[in-house]
Amino acid sequence: MQIPKIITKRLILRGFEEKDLDAYAEMGGDSEVMRYIGTGQILSRSESWRNMAMILGHWQLRGYGMWAVEERQSGEMIGRVGCWQPEGWIGLEIGWTIRRAFWRQGFATEAGKIAIAYAFNELQETHVISLIHPENIASRRVAKKLGEKLQASTEVMGKEALVFGISHEEWKIKSQAVFS
């Protein structure tokens, strides 16, 4: 399947390539980045490679997935953002992980807006969620900037996760207000 390439003012969302491994392994090996992701454990270089392969496989199996996020100015792969719903997941998740060197620059929010628009406009989803560790204040802020509201709590991989979400109708209203 051809993974769509989306270009924003500052970012390129694209499929992962083998050249992304160094940056992806750095991100996966950073304990600060990974402490709220999955089990909270860092990834080795080989685990990072398998994780990239899993993301590409998700695109093949589901027809959507996480994009590699590239900063246009530098050409660096700065993280991953996109739609995620492995077997047994509670809904279509909009997720993001950004390399620490690129935190606090609005990249997760910028790419997250594209992922939500893709979920609603291309995938025809009626509701999307983001699963966030309760202590992950930065991701909670991103979810709110994306228009998501706290809706529930659940358990993911043996850990508590807050469920933030937004319906297609809520998103359309918020999107129209932004462009009015």
Task: Give the model confidence (pLDDT) of 36-57 as tens digits.
Answer: 998 899 999 999 999 999 999 9
Q: Which of 5, 178, 26 is nearest to 101 (CA)?
A: 26
- Residue 51 belongs to domain with CATH number: 3.40.630.30
Q: How does the average pLDDT of the chain come out, rounded? A: 95
Looking at the structure of the chain, the number of domains it has is: 1
Q: Cα separation of 65 and 119, whole Å?
A: 10
Instruction: Render pLDDT for 63-121 as a digit per residue (tens, 0 to 9).
Output: 999 999 999 999 999 999 999 999 999 999 999 999 999 999 999 999 999 999 999 99
Question: Which of 22-26, 50-54, 58-62, 176-180 shows the lowest per-residue confidence on average (mean pLDDT)?
Answer: 176-180
SS (H, E, C) 93-111: EEEEEECHHHCCCCHHHHH
Could you give phi then psi for residue 94, rounded to 5 degrees?
Answer: -95, 115
Strand partners, 84: 93
* Residue 150 within any structural domain of the chain: yes
DSSP 41-89: ----HHHHHHHHHHHHHHHHHHS--EEEEEETTT--EEEEEEEE--TT-
Whether 1 is covered by a domain: the verdict is no
Q: Please tell me the distance from the alpha carbon of residue 178 to that of residue 124, in angstroms, as a whole number.
A: 21
Is residue 72, in this structure, part of any structural domain at all?
Answer: yes
- Long-range contacts of range 144-150, CB-CB < 8 Å, 24 or more positions apart? 145/109, 145/112, 146/94, 146/109, 146/112, 146/113, 146/116, 147/116, 147/171, 147/174, 148/94
* Domain range enclosing 137: 6-179
